[in-house]
Amino acid sequence: MEVAIYNIKGEATTAMVTLDDSVFAIEPNDHAIYLDVKQFLANQRQGTHDTLEKSTISGSTKKLHKQKGTGGSRKGSIKSPLFRGGARVFGPHPRDYSFKLNKKLKRLARKSALSYKVKDDNITILENFTFETAKTKNFTELLKNFQLSGKKVLLVLAKSDDNVFLSSRNLKRVKVVHACDLNTYEILDATQILITTDSVKEIEKIHQN
């Protein structure tokens, strides 16, 4: 499919770019998207949570009162989970939440997410650009030109550009990534995706079957 290329002023240029249908217009696979997003979120978890069980909690091991004759229940330790300040039963312990997925499945998930964004008209192709200086004002003006101020924006670059990256760093709802680091979660999380023309080639190269 052919789409227009815009400049950073928000104006459509006379140039067009052809998006590969095998990457940007496939039949989305929702289950692949689910698995890839689940893996991404699982990998963000530190897994450092820990609780004290009866064998690890500090406290007296003295029997609280005699076994029989009190009219109450039997109590063997103050560390019992039944008491305030006692141990926790079957509480969480440190663990690794990460899991692996096949590269082909992850590639399918990213192509599915991109296809959804193209279908909803949430992808804009930009001509290659850079800023002369690293100023937040430069990126703010770019967002205003596309009426994206205050929205979640993902800018995809083909290669590192310090001026563009540093200009976006103070904007909380903006993220700049390289084409090779694109992931399904960030694609779906963004309201609008801005992709430079060189990045389109990189994305298609990475996601070719």
Residue entry with tokens 């330790």 = 77
Give the sheet arrangement for strand 123-126, strand by strand. Answer: 12-18, 2-6, 123-126, 192-196, 153-157, 174-178
**Of 154, 155, 157, whose CA–CA distance to 178 is shortest?**
157
pLDDT value, residue 64? 87
- What's the average model confidence in pLDDT over 18-41? 96
Query: Residue 76: which pLDDT band, with cuts at 50, 70 and 90?
Result: confident
DSSP state of 19: P
pLDDT value, residue 1? 86
pLDDT value, residue 75? 87
Domains of the chain (ranges; CATH) run 2-46+99-206 (3.40.1370.10), 51-91 (no CATH)
Tens of pLDDT, residue by residue over 138-187, are 999 999 999 999 999 999 999 999 999 999 999 999 999 999 999 999 99
Write out the two tokens for 177: 């990534």
- What's the average model confidence in pLDDT over 66-72? 90
Cα separation, 164 vs 31, whole angstroms: 35
pLDDT value, residue 209? 60
